[in-house]
Amino acid sequence: MRKQLWIALSSASVLIASILCSVQVSAENASKIQEKFKDAQDEKNKLQSQIDVKDTELKEFEQKMKQIEGKIGEIQKDITPIEDKFNQETTVLNKMESQYADLVSNMYEEGFFSPLAMLLQSKGFDEFIANLDTVKLIADRKYDLVNKIKEGRNQVKKQRDELVARQNLQQQEVDKAKKLYLELVEAKKKDDSALAEANKIIEQYSEEMIDVNKALIASGKLNFSYTGPMKSPINASMTSPFGLRKHPIYGRYIMHQGVDYPSPTGTPIYAAADGVVVSSRASGGYGWLLTIYHGHKSGVPIYSRYAHSYPNQIKVRVGEHVMKGQQVTSVGANGQVTGAHLHFEVYAGENNAVNPTSYLQ
Ligand SMILES: [Zn+2]
């Protein structure tokens, strides 16, 4: 009964399609349109995979730059206390140096100040020498101290300079990565605009392609190679398998011609593979039935069918070329159902429903 209805409706749609195709596309023109459309589609696929590769590379660059910047931060953590120490020691040293300078200038200006006064008060040469040694000792000790601090400060400076050099090296890495990153961004921009151009061509020819495909469907000449496997048409779990089952409404054992994916109304449904929409119509218990032709496999046409949508959820037209994963409709509860779900069928040949799981990836 259902098969007969399907055949009747198929013949009817063929008839309607031939009537609708009043704007006849010449065979020569049709093949030109098909060629241009296919070229643009191939270009689009090529560019899309190039863009995907670049996106991955850009993410890697971002990761790398983050890592290096982290390293620079780590080195900065080491540099900060060393720099503080260097500054502290510089302050101490400056103080010492000025004290030493004071000491020396005092020796001259204040008539050799107290140590010099001590010298002048020396009684006899021996005492003068002894006092001179004392004065020298005071001056030398100060001088040694200054040298020691200078040396220490130089070591700290060396440590700091080494760390800064390491940090600069990392910075050079960041700069290099940033340069490559920007080059990649530029290259991606070019791909993006080429993709937009390909999409424009696809857009430009899509109306004519629909006419060409409609004419091909009407004459039964729509034929290209199947490019499966199919991808799940929905992000949901399959519950009711293909085969004989007790029907949820009729209560008797009936062949289940497809698989079911219960899901809330409005859940997106995607084309299972690349193809052309060949039928979109109300169909009894199916509610609305959308059929996509996916090409011939070993001489047999492969179709996928999507049931129970509402007509206003359908996003594609008969004759329209669709890509695998493109949203074609949404889940509804139209027709004979116990709840909202996608009923999905695969046909190998005009009247041969097969188990979809053997076609799904
Ligand atoms: Zn079902």
The predicted pLDDT at position 202 comes to: 87
In this model, does residue 171 exceed pLDDT 90?
no
In this model, does residue 19 exceed pLDDT 50?
no
- Do 229 and 310 belong to one domain? yes
Residue 346 identity (one-letter amino acid): V
- Do 188 and 293 belong to one domain? no
Residue 38, domain member (yes or no): no
Total residues found in the chain within this entry = 361
pLDDT higher at 153 or 65: 65
Distance 333 CA to ligand 1 centre (A): 12
Distance 256 CA to ligand 1 centre (A): 6
Mean confidence (pLDDT) of the chain: 84
* Model confidence band, residue 20 (pLDDT cutoffs 50, 70, 90): very low
Distance 240 CA to ligand 1 centre (A): 7
Q: How far is residue 311's CA from residue 37's CA, in Å, rounded to a whole number?
A: 28
- Do 276 and 164 belong to one domain? no
Distance 225 CA to ligand 1 centre (A): 28
The predicted pLDDT at position 356 comes to: 96
- Do 184 and 244 belong to one domain? no
- Do 243 and 347 belong to one domain? yes
* Model confidence band, residue 335 (pLDDT cutoffs 50, 70, 90): very high
- Do 74 and 175 belong to one domain? yes
The residue-averaged pLDDT of 274-299 equals 95
Residue 27, domain member (yes or no): no
The predicted pLDDT at position 275 comes to: 95
Helix (H, G, I), strand (E, B) or coil at 121: coil
Distance 275 CA to ligand 1 centre (A): 22
Residue 208, domain member (yes or no): no
* Residue written as token pair 């430009």: 204
Distance 255 CA to ligand 1 centre (A): 10
Distance 337 CA to ligand 1 centre (A): 8
Residue 135, domain member (yes or no): yes
Taking a C-beta distance cutoff of 8 angstroms, is the pair 273, 304 a contact?
A: yes
* Model confidence band, residue 183 (pLDDT cutoffs 50, 70, 90): very high
Residue 3, domain member (yes or no): no
- Do 227 and 140 belong to one domain? no
Distance 322 CA to ligand 1 centre (A): 23
Q: What is the pLDDT of residues 131-166, one digit of tens each?
A: 777 777 777 776 777 787 778 778 888 888 888 888
- Do 82 and 188 belong to one domain? yes
* Model confidence band, residue 121 (pLDDT cutoffs 50, 70, 90): confident
The predicted pLDDT at position 110 comes to: 55
140 CB contacts (<8 Å, ≥6 apart)? none
Residue 324: strand pairing partners: none
- Read off the CATH number of the domain in which 251 is found: 2.70.70.10
Distance 279 CA to ligand 1 centre (A): 19
Taking a C-beta distance cutoff of 8 angstroms, is the pair 283, 289 a contact?
A: yes
Distance 233 CA to ligand 1 centre (A): 14
Residue span of the structural domain in which 333 resides:
223-358
Helix (H, G, I), strand (E, B) or coil at 273: coil
Distance 152 CA to ligand 1 centre (A): 85
Distance 87 CA to ligand 1 centre (A): 80
Which of these ranges, 34-48, 135-149, 340-354, has the smallest mean pLDDT? 135-149
- Retrieve residue 65's tokens: 């730059």
If one counts every other C-beta atom within 10 angstroms of the C-beta of residue 280, the result is 23
- pTM score, whole prediction: 0.63
- Do 164 and 282 belong to one domain? no
- Do 89 and 157 belong to one domain? yes
* Model confidence band, residue 7 (pLDDT cutoffs 50, 70, 90): very low
Taking a C-beta distance cutoff of 8 angstroms, is the pair 323, 48 a contact?
A: no
Q: What is the pLDDT of residues 215-267, one digit of tens each?
A: 898 888 899 999 989 999 999 999 988 988 877 777 788 889 999 999 999 99
152 CB contacts (<8 Å, ≥6 apart)? 89
* Model confidence band, residue 354 (pLDDT cutoffs 50, 70, 90): very high
- Do 166 and 232 belong to one domain? no
Q: What are phi and psi of 267, to 5 degrees?
A: -60, 130
Residue 19, domain member (yes or no): no
Residue 47, domain member (yes or no): no
* Residue written as token pair 């209560």: 251
The residue-averaged pLDDT of 60-75 equals 88
Domain count, the chain: 2
In this model, does residue 182 exceed pLDDT 70?
yes
**First CA to last CA across the chain, in angstroms?**
32
Distance 245 CA to ligand 1 centre (A): 10
Residue 144, domain member (yes or no): yes
- Do 170 and 235 belong to one domain? no
